[in-house]
Amino acid sequence: MSQYKKFINVRTGPGTRLKGRKVAIIVAHEFEDVELLYPFLRLSEEGAEITIIPVPIGLHPRPAVPAKPVTGRYGTPVPMEVFGEGVRYVMKSLQEVKPDEFDAIVIPGGFSPDHLRVSDRVLEFVKKAYETGKIVAAICHGPQVLISAGLVKGRKVTAYAAVKDDLINAGAIFLDEPAIRDGNIITGRVPDDLPEFCGLIIEALSRC
């Protein structure tokens, strides 16, 4: 029992490596649920302040109903029912925020990036964040947004295999690795690589 208590004591308090850092996670319908949830929990565990920005475009077909909250492929809604808004995170619309308010932008995968990449407002937001030196991180299909924002030419990146040809055609240097940082761009391959992906984000934010 004493060993169990010791373990609990180690894990209860939040980390401090990202204390004061502000991270925005941008999602549209059909995002990959774990690619929102894992970075949200891991980065907040290190002390980051998380803002989730749902962009109500695209459809979630199970069922598709008017005014449905932005929902992940496996049913996670935003706002998230099991985490209290204002406790672990805040939720804001894209119209309420500016890129310079954040230290990092995270773009989960799934079908969400296919919707986000056709939004001029999203692309402008991501591009301005990049141009001002913010960390721009995308995983799985997320680099589709980086392609449309014109940010991958000459950059070493990774992504889900289905995005490989698109990245190469956009001038990126594609590497089949769990996660890669090239300058202020961080990319991850698939959900299994979330630990490495988030590790690079934490490392980058803790040093900037």
With 90 as the cut, is the pLDDT of residue 175 above it?
yes
Q: E strands of the chain, at which residues?
A: 22-27, 49-54, 70-71, 77-78, 89-91, 104-107, 135-139, 156-157, 173-174, 179-182, 185-188
Domain ranges within the chain, ordered by starting residue: 19-207
**CA gap 191, 1 in Å, rounded:** 34
| pLDDT above 70: residue 3 | no
The per-residue pLDDT for 58 is 92
Query: Out of 46-50, 60-64, 105-109, 188-192, which region has the weakest mean confidence (pLDDT)?
Result: 60-64
Is 141 annotated as catalytic?
A: yes
pTM listed for this prediction: 0.91
pLDDT value at 189 more than 50: yes
81 vs 51, higher pLDDT: 51
Report whether 57 contacts 28 (CB < 8 A).
yes
The CATH number of the structural domain formed by 19-207 is 3.40.50.880
For residue 25, CA distances in Å to 102, 171, 180, 190 come to 10, 26, 19, 17
Q: Which of 29, 60, 115, 141 is catalytic?
A: 141
Q: What is the spatial distance between Cα 141 and Cα 114, in angstroms, rounded to a whole number?
A: 8
What whole-number distance in Å separates Cα of residue 47 and Cα of residue 23?
10
Section 3-24 average pLDDT: 63
**What's the pLDDT tens digit per position in 83-126?**
877 778 999 999 999 999 999 999 999 999 999 999 999 999 99
Q: What is the mean pLDDT of the chain?
A: 92
CA distance readout (Å), 103 to 10, 51, 96, 99? 27, 11, 16, 8
pLDDT digits (tens, 9 = 90+) for 122-157: 999 999 999 999 999 999 999 999 999 999 999 999
